[in-house]
Amino acid sequence: MRVNLGKFIFLNKQRCNILTPQPGEIWKVNCLVRSPLDLLSEEQQHLYSSLARNFLAGNSPPRYVMIVREPELSENIEEEWLIVYVMLLSLETDFISNIDLLIPAKISGLDRDLLAETWHIIPALACNLLQPVGKRLSRQIYEYLLTVRDYHDGLVSQLPAITEIQHLGFTDENLCSANNPRIQNFHKAEQAWSDVLTVPVAAYYTYFKSIKFTNAILNEALQLEQDLQSDISG
């Protein structure tokens, strides 16, 4: 693994997302991931699951995410590497559960239904999200999805009534428990796939630490040089 300054640090901004992802938007995931670190082929085999490698090779269907939190601008983070939190959406709509909720196409504005993995919220580099698609989910739907996650994490005491779910357009039939072995196997596969987004984030933090360490050494060397010049002048 090595830092690729020429390719990444001075990346042409025209190649990055012009739009800032907003909460409730649905974005398509880019199969050409970017990272501030170059990963050798051996490292990619080790860090990415087989499901992730298949996606990156273009051998699996497209993937989508819902924006949970927009990127936070910081003077310590290059614009190319803004981090956004997303909820994974799946085309595997056969795995509906009490924490995997069906979003009908009429709500998403896409040509297919999606499964919202309310349990599966992860950080991603904004540059690895290709473009917004479909319709931005309403605030009511967005908040409901997050409430489902909070409820199953024990952060809220109850969920909205079933009638409210029906009003939002969610399918509430056959909501089996997430403890069902079939659902658990689906979750394991989805966690493995999410390497596509989480590995570049881990690479960014490694890169950021190396930059901070390098800057600290340079600052210390500069201070030493200034001290020596001051001693000579004195």
170 or 87: whose pLDDT is higher? 87
**Which pLDDT belongs to residue 172?**
58
Residue 39 has pLDDT above 80, yes or no: no
Strand partners, 115: 90, 102
Look at the chain and count its residues: 234
Residue 26 has pLDDT above 60, yes or no: yes
Question: What band does 13 get if pLDDT is binned at 50, 70 and 90?
Answer: very low
The highest-confidence range among 31-45, 70-84, 99-113, 207-221, by mean pLDDT, is 99-113
CATH class belonging to 2-233: mainly beta
**Which pLDDT belongs to residue 40?**
53
Residue 85 has pLDDT above 50, yes or no: yes
CA distance 73 to 141: 26
**Which pLDDT belongs to residue 54?**
94
| C-alpha 17 chain-centroid distance | 14
Residue 51 has pLDDT above 60, yes or no: yes
**Which pLDDT belongs to residue 86?**
98
Question: What band does 20 get if pLDDT is binned at 50, 70 and 90?
Answer: confident
What would the pLDDT profile of 53-64 be if each residue is shown by its tens digit?
999 999 999 999
- In this prediction, residues 73-88 reach a mean pLDDT of 77
What would the pLDDT profile of 162-178 be if each residue is shown by its tens digit?
666 777 777 656 578 88
What would the pLDDT profile of 91-132 be if each residue is shown by its tens digit?
999 999 989 999 999 999 999 999 999 999 999 999 999 999
CB 1 within 8 A of CB 39: yes
Which residues contact residue 71 at a Cβ distance below 8 angstroms, ignoring those fewer than 6 apart? 20, 21, 82, 83, 84, 126
Question: What band does 139 get if pLDDT is binned at 50, 70 and 90?
Answer: very high
Q: Sketch the domain layout of the chain as residue ranges.
A: 2-233
Helix (H, G, I), strand (E, B) or coil at 151: helix
What would the pLDDT profile of 175-227 be if each residue is shown by its tens digit?
788 899 999 999 999 999 999 999 999 888 876 666 554 554 555 555 555 54
**Which pLDDT belongs to residue 19?**
78
119 or 161: whose pLDDT is higher? 119
